[in-house]
Chains A and B, each alone.
Chain A
Amino acid sequence: MFLINCPYCGERDQQEFKAGGEAHIERPKQPTELSDDEWAEYLFMRKNIKGVQFERWNHAHGCRKWFNMVRDTSNDEIKAIYKMGEKPPSQ
């Protein structure tokens, strides 16, 4: 349990938020040309990093907006928060 600084609402309790998994997984531009292996990679395979991970969160019980977060999954420390469409900060 931790506090999350929503870029639209400010600091709120984590239980107001919904985790949306790994960030920056690009939707295939040519889905009809994708092989089964590439579909599996896009749909199912995840980095699941122990350490600094880029992920998406949604302020589900607040402004309901999506944003990105850089978080260390080994200690739940939040390194950075940035809006959708913005470039991820360099580590």
Chain B
Amino acid sequence: MRNKYSVFSLIKNALSYHENWQRAWKDPTPKQEYDAVIVGGGGHGLATAYYLAKKHNMNNIAVVEKGWIGGGNTGRNTTIIRSNYLWDASAGLYDHALKIWEGLSQELNYNVMFSQRGVMNLAHNLQDVRDLKRRTHANRLNGIDAVYLSTEEVKKFCPIINTSPDIRYPVLGGTLQRRAGTARHDAVAWGYARGADAMGVDIIQNCEVKGIKRNGDSVEGIETTKGFIKTKKVGVVAAGHSSVIANMAGLRLPLESKPLQALVSEPVKPIIDTVVMSNAVHAYVSQSDKGELVIGAGTDDYVSYTQKGSHQIVEGTLNAILELYPIFSRMRMLRQWGGIVDICPDASPILSKTSIKGLYFNCGWGTGGFKATPGSGDLFAHTIANDEPHKLNAAFNLNRFVSGDLVDEHGAAAVAH
């Protein structure tokens, strides 16, 4: 039985100096066989397992993770959540996720610190203005809250932005999605892990997949560093390493894995109470509850699995940040890191069946997967349980690269790609 987190449990455990908290999830050894195995214990993989157990009554399942849960891109992103995408298919997908975010802490009984502080996207040239206005209209037609702001309104909403017309990339306007914001990334992984574990899901860490066993066109199981696990359904949620797993099964995916960097400053008092993104100068910034400025940069243009990026990428981002926010000129940066993002040619994800029966892929989230974590898990669980996609992820199939029915969100969604 899982103890509920509440103010009473906090008081009770304070009396024993917080030494007797129940384990949030077990550390099981793998069984010989599961009804389904999820490869990858990040937010998306754990959410998939959670919804498989909760909504589809699949409790005899496991999540295998080669490192520790939430140690990959879940722990490396800049935690931005929004749903202001251009195309109908994307709007449906990301707003589905945003709606789950709004009740997630209560549902999981775990504070994911979801904060609807708004996300503002800036326009720096006339084409940006046209694109952002078009996207605002498209969002509103899809029932997604979006407003277009003038330069003065941008300044009013976030006073520390330099809106002088004399800067290299002047702020000509922007869009605002008020329901958007941030969440605590680690808490999302931990909350889903705790919730899935409570329903009987085995979360097996330090267990790397070494091979996928097939019998003809069906999956029979996976070879791992902890032995062979028999299963008829394998859901791969391996982000930057999706192609590595696909190659084991003899598949090729339309992905390239590239380093994406982020960095945080020393902590300071609250100075920016929203998230500001700028596509044209490739910089985005928010402030964590600890007070650090969380700054995101762009990807390198070459394939690499090294989890580090090039210095000039960070330098370019910081140049842009300093021009937009002169007040940050004496801030010192504390940490910088990289994550490996799997990028699709159309910058949209893949949540799909494959040509191999029982093998499913959830990948291609590229530079912006964190925001979709709950929706991605929910829809991927549906796809695995029913062997059919949900209508919200039907457009995000692998076959779109054959049919040409791409969901081209490159640049169009004000995404910092």
Contacts and interface: CB of A to CB of B under 8 A. Distances in A.
A46 B254 contact: yes
B302 A19 contact: yes
Interface residues of B, number: 27
Nearest to A21: B256
A39 B303 CA distance: 22
Contacts of B305: 50, 73-74
Interface string A20-45: 01000000000000001101110111
B303 A37 contact: no
B402 A37 contact: yes
Contacts of B254: 40, 44-46
Interface in A46-77: 46-50, 53, 55, 57, 73-76
Closest 10 CB pairs of A and B: A19-B302, A48-B243, A44-B254, A45-B252, A1-B310, A40-B402, A44-B401, A19-B301, A40-B401, A15-B312
B314 to A, nearest CB: 10
A18 B312 CA distance: 13
A48 B256 contact: yes
Q: Is the interface of A mostly helix, strand, loop or mixed?
A: mixed
A5 to B, nearest CB: 16
Contacts of B253: 45-46, 48
Contacts of B303: 19, 21, 48-49, 53, 55, 73
Interface in A1-17: 1, 14-15
A45 B345 CA distance: 9
B252 A46 contact: yes
Nearest to A48: B243
Contact of A48 (B255, B309, B402): B255
Contact of A36 (B257, B342, B403): B403
B402 A36 contact: yes
A15 B310 CA distance: 8
Contacts of A37: 402
A40 B309 CA distance: 30
Given A15-B312, A43-B345, A46-B252, 19 more contacts: A1-B312, A15-B310, A19-B301, A37-B402, A41-B252, A45-B253, A45-B254, A46-B253, A48-B255, A48-B256, A48-B303, A48-B342, A50-B241, A50-B243, A50-B244, A73-B257, A73-B304, A73-B305, A75-B306
